[in-house]
Structure 1
Amino acid sequence: MIKMIIAVSDLHLRDPASNKKGFISFIEEFLKPNCNEMTDLVLLGDILDLWRRNSALVILENLDILNNVCDLGFHVHYIIGNHDFIMKDYSLGRDDRKIPVGLTCDPENVTFGDVQVLYNDGKKFRFIHGHQMDYWYTLPFYEAFARAMCDVTKEVEELSSVWKVLHRQEEGFSSFISKRIQEFSDEWRAQIDRKLAGPLVGHSGTVEESRIEEYNLLGHMIEFKGFPYNSLKALREEIHALSLESKNFPMIPGLKDMGTLTHNNQFEELATSFLIVWKEVFQWMSINKDSRNQDLMKLVRKLQRVAAIFSSDLHQDEFLIHGHGHNGHVDYANSMADSGCWIEDKASFIKIDDGKVSCTPWPIR
């Protein structure tokens, strides 16, 4: 019998909105009774919420939960999210730390990283947090910002501290990003703070409005060089497939223009063409709020899948499992699934069993 893979994300421990009580019941009533039927548990990022908090203290306060899941016998993969980005230090072994101090499990049984690829029943699954899809066109800057948000200490907890931290970390950035950060006005920085570092719940506006607002703020931080791509052939094929959607979405002119791209186009040209379509789709949706339908949402998920190819080296034969969206669902047509979140009264998890993917609410109903 093939054992299952379980994935959860966006618990946001330490944030007042975290459904910590629900997750503890999930450990006791699902993970522990089923531990012998599992090969892997994937923690899909934002398990801890370290933004503008004392990271060491938050980790210490929640070691009991991490130890609980890491001691059950299956392998635990901690995928780095934007709100716990500093956990990436453990995957890099910085300061001779392989796992957080106080984590009692076998170090060989837990891994930290940006991405994990696992197999189940011969099928291939790629796990990422998901912020890589929203910010694919400006990922180097966004992840620098996310890390700085996690790097707060008691001495720099005021609102503007993220920019002080970014300046201290400048030597790790490209010259392009360093120059752009130095050029930001105080007002521009305040706008980025408000948009990217707002409250976890209670957002006003739609998702598509947020995508356009973010693009307007971050569009001049675009840096395509250094993206982790292995196959231009796969990108070209996916871009061509997207261009065929132009007949269904004539209000998105960039889709038709994609059809003129040739097999000689290089990575930056493909990315630029895709970014035009990305922007056009979300602009149209933000203006025509009453026109959202199932076909349009399928197009959005196709865009997300291509964004994951650009930013996370997603392969064409892989089923993508992610979090970040806080909206649990499985999209079989586009081979991708969102594990949902554990915020307020929300709770859900992904189960991969016999190669099949399901998203299930908790408690199971």
Structure 2
Amino acid sequence: MIIAVSDLHLGDPASNRNGFVSFLEEFLRSKRNEITDLVLLGDILDLWRRNSAIVIFENLDIVNKICSLGCHVHYIVGNHDFRMREYSQGMDDTDLLEGLTCTSENMTVAEVRVLESGGKKYRFIHGHQMDYWYALPFYEAFSRAMCDVTAEIEEISSVWKVLQRQARYHSSLISEKIREISDNRRDMIDRKLAGPLVGHIGTVEESRIEEYKLLGELIDIKGVPSTSLKSLAEEIHALSFEFEKFPMISGLQDLGKITHENQFEELASGFLNVWVDVFQWMNSNKETKNQDLITLVRKLQRVAAMFSSDLQQDEFLIHGHGHDGHVDYVNRMADSGCWIQDKATFITIDDGKVTCNLWP
């Protein structure tokens, strides 16, 4: 059995730490002989605007208990614990890791993991890759910098100063684009991307459009393996069939012209136009949200995951980040939910069956 949990946000006051500890002691430990893999699906630690060493030290007991369960632990980095990615790249900070009993034998750290159950493949990602697929290099650079921002030290209290100091982690293109962003736009990006974990206002569609407007100058779409181009074209072309349900979104019809002969740039451009059109229409027609629209958005998310995380057509996508636990069997994707305030959800995959569960 595979278990996936995400968005615990240890270190943030809103974290349901006690609920997770009871889940760990009462459920995970009791099922330790049945669990083959435990996937920590990102944002387990919340390192944004905090002292990373302190957050890790204060939660060592939980991480060490997880690693003592006996199953293999897959730590998938999220946007709020993006610095954990470094531990998978041989850049371990011994000060941060002091006291950690996990080793590469029982815990691996990665951005993506593919596992099998019941003859089916499951791709695990945190989920921010879908929201920011068109500007992912910048967004992940921003996330990395946020893990080093702390209000305690004035000279590193600005995420933009940290971004400039961490230029070695970025491509030359991203570094150049960061330097060109005006102070006013920097302030707006900071407020939008680094807002509060809870208590924020606005809808998802409002956020997607506002983020696109702010990050429009930072578009840098990750390439995909040449072997995936045909599948990507097929999935984008299939979106054109949604035009019958949503004739007001004209860009969907244009996707019907996509073929496997199209180049990557054409696929990305066409899909980005529809991505923006859908969320703009949703933002202007909030009262019309229905299951068909939710299904369309999830189809868009699957394609975004193909661009950003090399999702394959035959894979079931398991992600976090959305804080909305559910399983969508039609679109073959599931959100593991979160452990924020009184929320407590997790995913189980047993012999190919995916279930979203509440705790307790």
**The two structures share one fold, judged by TM-score above 0.5:** yes
Query: Aligning the two structures, in what range does the TM-score lie when normalised by the shorter sequence?
Result: over 0.9
Within 2, Cα distance between the matches of 1:326 and 1:353?
Answer: 22
State the one-letter code of the partner of 2:172: S
Question: Which of 193, 197, 200 is the matching residue for 1:200?
Answer: 197
Within 2, Cα distance between the matches of 1:25 and 1:108?
Answer: 26
State the one-letter code of the partner of 1:210: S
Give the CA deviation at 1:203. 1.0
TM-score scaled to structure 1, two decimals? Answer: 0.95
Aligned to 2:27: 30
Other structure's SS at 2:36 match: strand
Question: Which of 98, 103, 128 is the matching residue for 1:101?
Answer: 98
After superposition, the Cα gap between the structure-2 partners of 1:159 and 1:56, relative to the gap in structure 1 and judged at 3 Å, is closer
Aligned to 1:232: 229
Within 2, Cα distance between the matches of 1:171 and 1:60?
Answer: 27
Other structure's SS at 2:247 match: coil
CA contact (8 A) 1:228 1:311 kept: no
Within 1, Cα distance between the matches of 2:298 and 2:170?
Answer: 31
State the one-letter code of the partner of 2:291: Q
What do residues 52-110 of structure 1 show as CA deviations (whole Å, max 9, x unaligned)? 1111111111010000111010000000000000000111011476x933221343110
Within 1, Cα distance between the matches of 2:99 and 2:144?
Answer: 22
What do residues 121-146 of structure 1 show as CA deviations (whole Å, max 9, x unaligned)? 11110000000000000000000000
Give the CA deviation at 1:179. 1.6
CA contact (8 A) 1:8 1:43 kept: yes
After superposition, the Cα gap between the structure-2 partners of 1:225 and 1:11, relative to the gap in structure 1 and judged at 3 Å, is closer
Question: Which of 289, 302, 325 is the matching residue for 2:286?
Answer: 289
Aligned to 1:15: 12
Aligned to 2:77: 80
CA contact (8 A) 2:221 2:307 kept: no
Other structure's SS at 2:146 match: helix
Other structure's SS at 2:80 match: coil
Aligned to 1:219: 216
CA contact (8 A) 1:22 1:347 kept: yes
The gaps in structure 2 that reach 5 residues or longer are none
* Alignment pair present for 1:166 and 2:163: yes
Aligned to 1:316: 313
Other structure's SS at 1:269 match: helix
Other structure's SS at 1:104 match: coil
After superposition, the Cα gap between the structure-2 partners of 1:227 and 1:191, relative to the gap in structure 1 and judged at 3 Å, is farther
Other structure's SS at 1:211 match: helix
After superposition, the Cα gap between the structure-2 partners of 1:157 and 1:130, relative to the gap in structure 1 and judged at 3 Å, is farther
Give the CA deviation at 1:263. 2.5
Within 2, Cα distance between the matches of 1:205 and 1:229?
Answer: 39
* Alignment: residue pair count: 360
Within 2, Cα distance between the matches of 1:29 and 1:41?
Answer: 15
Give the CA deviation at 1:246. 1.1
Within 2, Cα distance between the matches of 1:60 and 1:100?
Answer: 8
CA contact (8 A) 1:55 1:152 kept: no
State the one-letter code of the partner of 1:245: E
Question: Which of 243, 256, 265 is the matching residue for 1:246?
Answer: 243
* Alignment pair present for 1:280 and 2:280: no
CA contact (8 A) 1:52 1:157 kept: no
Question: Which of 297, 301, 310 is the matching residue for 1:300?
Answer: 297
State the one-letter code of the partner of 2:345: S
Give the CA deviation at 1:153. 5.3
CA contact (8 A) 2:240 2:256 kept: yes
Give the CA deviation at 1:228. 6.0
Within 2, Cα distance between the matches of 1:156 and 1:182?
Answer: 23
* Alignment pair present for 1:343 and 2:340: yes
Aligned to 2:50: 53
TM-score scaled to structure 2, two decimals? Answer: 0.96
State the one-letter code of the partner of 1:304: Q
Question: Which of 113, 116, 119 is the matching residue for 2:116?
Answer: 119
The gaps in structure 1 that reach 5 residues or longer are none
Give the CA deviation at 1:329. 0.3
Other structure's SS at 1:191 match: helix
Deviates more, 1:167-176 or 1:280-289: 167-176
Within 1, Cα distance between the matches of 2:227 and 2:22?
Answer: 41
What do residues 232-288 of structure 1 show as CA deviations (whole Å, max 9, x unaligned)? 011011011111111111011111011112322111110110011100111111110
What is the aligned-residue identity percentage? Answer: 72
